[in-house]
């Protein structure tokens, strides 16, 4: 079978991780084109990574590149237009988190992909991260008994790109950016796509006042059918590099796992050095120098799985429906942060973006 051809939409930080994953770990896939709105940036990205074609026109990138799969690594507000174009062209679709800006967009995307027989594969890498997958397998073996509580934290000092701070482009702050990981992982751990019964959240802007109207620190508590509770802690206000960890509490035991500690080399440097880890602001003094960052976070594993689903016509483990469920919980969290009350699910809203609920727009 010939290699599966991929058109990569985006040329930012996450696109760099995706292209590294394809080149190093997925020989059955070939990235044949890259698209970004800036033609010079697209050309530079293509030259850097040995990609044959670059585009600044979305329809041309999808329709003329000869791709089988469209991999969407664009800012949040461009997700729905990209899915519309890819589904209309009958392409299989990989989409980075969050799925969409609002529930109406999410439902439209799901309907379009179903009508055009396109797989909509939701790229939630924590469902594929090796360390966290080991935790899930331990739980499935009965190591900790029945889960009654989970905690997932993802924290750093702020995003890579300015568009994250613009609520009209991002739809929200730390919860929208990173809370989606924890919410998806809770469902993954519980298995069978459990329904969320309620969400309670609190959020504030503690570090980036004046730069954004979005929250840069948040906590969300989700109650699931069956009684398990998930606690998602997310922040753009934590200094010193990325912090990503999970805890699972069961009736017969407990598991703790840190995504980065244990996958790094403890380093001391007087002068500092190049790259230590994602979001690390300085490399002077003691640092955790990460290695195999993309592999540890699950990106190659998820993309390899998605390419396999396309090549063998399998159902993806993580789908657009999962992304829609996560988006609904995030909307409920922003509503809860505004009212100070627990919000019951299912939750319907016509808000254009999650943060509108918190800001009362």
216, 349: one domain? yes
281 within some domain: no
Does 116 fall in a domain?
A: yes
The answer to the question of residue 255 being in a domain is yes
Sole residue written with tokens 């990325």 = 242
Q: What is the mean pLDDT of residues 175-198?
A: 96
Q: For 166-184, b where at least 16 C-beta lie within 10 A, e where not — what string?
A: bbebbbbbbbbbbbbbbbb
- Output the six-digit token pair for 219: 């906590």
Nearest to 256 by CA among 134, 87, 73: 134
Q: Same domain, yes or no, for 89 and 135?
A: no
Mean pLDDT of 174-190: 98
User: For residue 84, what pLDDT is reported?
Assistant: 98
Q: In this predicted model, what pLDDT tens digit does every residue of 314-327 receive, in sequence order? A: 999 999 999 999 99
Regarding whether 189 and 53 lie in a shared domain, the answer is no
289 in a structural domain:
no
- In terms of domains, do 227 and 341 share one? yes
Question: CATH number for the domain including 56?
Answer: 3.40.50.720
Give the pLDDT band (50/70/90) at residue 280: confident
Is position 94 within any domain? yes
pLDDT at 261 (0 to 100): 82
Q: Looking at the structure, tell me whether residues 69 and 157 fall in a common domain.
A: no
**Number of structural domains the chain divides into:** 2
Say how far apart CA 99 and CA 150 lie, in whole Å. Answer: 23
Residues 2-50: tens digit of each pLDDT: 999 999 999 999 999 999 999 999 999 999 999 999 999 999 999 999 9
Asked if the model's pLDDT at residue 266 lies above 70, the reply is: no
Q: For residue 100, name the pLDDT band (cuts at 50, 70, 90).
A: very high
The first and second tokens of residue 80, run together, are 């729905």
The pTM of this model reads 0.93
Q: Are 243 and 153 in contact (CB under 8 A)?
A: yes
pLDDT (0 to 100) of residue 88: 98
Q: Three-state SS for 101?
A: coil
pLDDT of residue 188: 97
How far apart CA 143 and CA 303 sit, in angstroms, is: 29
Predicted pLDDT of residue 265: 65
The CATH number assigned to the domain holding 351 equals 3.30.360.10
Could you tell me what percent of the chain has a pLDDT over 70? 98
Residue 273 placed within a domain:
no
- Asked if residue 290 belongs to a domain, the reply is no
Cβ atoms within 10 Å of 194's Cβ, excluding its own: 16
Is the sign of the CA dihedral 66, 92, 351, 213 positive or negative?
A: negative
Which parts of 65-179 fold into alpha helices (H)?
79-88, 103-115, 130-140, 167-170, 174
Instruction: Verify that 149 and 241 share a domain, yes or no.
Output: yes
Domain of 231, in residue numbers? 127-263+325-359
What percent of the chain has a predicted confidence (pLDDT) above 90? 83
- pLDDT band with cut points at 50, 70 and 90 for residue 274: confident
Q: Which residues contact 158 (CB under 8 A, 6 or more apart)?
A: 164, 207, 208, 216, 236, 279
Residue ranges in the chain assigned as alpha helix (H):
13-25, 39-49, 58-64, 79-88, 103-115, 130-140, 167-170, 174, 180-190, 293-297, 299-312, 320-339, 354-359
């Amino acid at each position: 079978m010939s290699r599966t051809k991929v058109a990569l939409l985006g040329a930012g930080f996450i696109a760099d991780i995706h292209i590294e994953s394809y080149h190093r770990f997925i020989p059955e896939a070939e990235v044949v084109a890259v698209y970004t709105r800036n033609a010079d940036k697209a050309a530079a990205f293509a030259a850097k990574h040995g990609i044959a074609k670059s585009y600044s026109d979305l329809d041309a990138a999808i329709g003329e590149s000869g791709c089988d799969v469209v991999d969407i690594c664009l800012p949040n507000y461009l997700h729905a237009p990209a899915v519309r174009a890819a589904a209309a062209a009958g392409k299989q679709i990989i989409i980075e988190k969050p799925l969409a800006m609002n529930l109406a967009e999410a439902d439209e995307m799901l309907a379009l992909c179903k009508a055009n027989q396109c797989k909509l594969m939701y790229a939630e890498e924590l469902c594929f991260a090796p360390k966290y997958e080991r935790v899930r397998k331990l739980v499935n073996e009965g190591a900790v008994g029945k889960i009654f509580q989970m905690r997932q934290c993802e924290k750093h000092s702020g995003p890579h790109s300015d568009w994250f701070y613009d609520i009209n482009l991002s739809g929200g702050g730390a919860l929208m950016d990173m809370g989606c990981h924890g919410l998806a992982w809770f469902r993954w751990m519980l298995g069978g796509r459990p329904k969320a019964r309620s969400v309670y959240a609190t959020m504030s802007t503690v570090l980036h006042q004046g730069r954004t109207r979005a929250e840069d620190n948040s906590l969300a508590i989700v109650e699931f059918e069956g009684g398990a509770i998930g606690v998602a802690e997310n922040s753009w206000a934590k200094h010193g590099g990325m912090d990503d960890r999970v805890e699972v509490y069961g009736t017969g035991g407990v598991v703790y796992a840190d995504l980065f500690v244990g996958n790094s080399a403890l380093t001391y440097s007087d002068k500092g050095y190049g790259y230590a880890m994602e979001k690390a602001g300085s490399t002077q003094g003691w640092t955790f120098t990460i290695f195999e960052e993309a592999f540890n976070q699950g990106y190659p594993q998820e993309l390899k799985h998605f390419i396999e689903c396309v090549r063998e016509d399998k159902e993806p483990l993580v789908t657009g429906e999962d992304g829609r469920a996560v988006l609904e919980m995030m909307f409920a969290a922003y509503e809860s942060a505004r009212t100070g009350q627990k919000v019951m699910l299912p939750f319907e809203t016509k808000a254009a973006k999650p943060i509108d609920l918190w800001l009362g727009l």
